[in-house]
Amino acid sequence: MIGSIVSGNPILISRVGGDFYAMDAVCSHFYGYLPKGELKNSVVICPVHKAQYDVQTGKVVKNVPGLMKMAGGGKVAGDLRTYQVRVVGDIILVKA
């Protein structure tokens, strides 16, 4: 998992199996930087409040714990944008 910038937006690039995926790198719940999180299979876990996202689809697979929702004024994590990825030799190209 690495962080990068595409068209001014921080993105997360992940490798799952032999494929690469790119999605927004900032958690939609409380702005955790996902490249500092943990990748388990195809799910990245936010290092701040533990929201979980599928790196292949950007979908929330597990939202923040109930206590975190209440402390944050009821704010929950929402799905993140994904990007098309193409690998050319040793270069990973991400389409914004």
- Could you tell me which residues are beta bridge partners of residue 19? 16
Mean pLDDT (the chain, rounded): 88
The domain spans of the chain are 2-95
Residue 70 has pLDDT above 80, yes or no: no
Reported as a single tens digit per residue, the pLDDT across 21-66 is 999 999 988 888 999 999 999 999 999 888 999 999 999 999 876 6
Question: Model pTM?
Answer: 0.87
Dump the DSSP string for 34-86. GGGSEEETTEEE-TTT--EEETTT--EEE---HHHHHHTTT-------EEEEE
- Right CATH for 2-95 from 3.90.70.10, 3.10.180.10, 1.20.950.20, 2.102.10.10: 2.102.10.10
- Across 9-46, b (16+ Cβ under 10 Å) vs e yields eebbbbeeeeebbbbbbbbbbbebebbebebeebbbbb
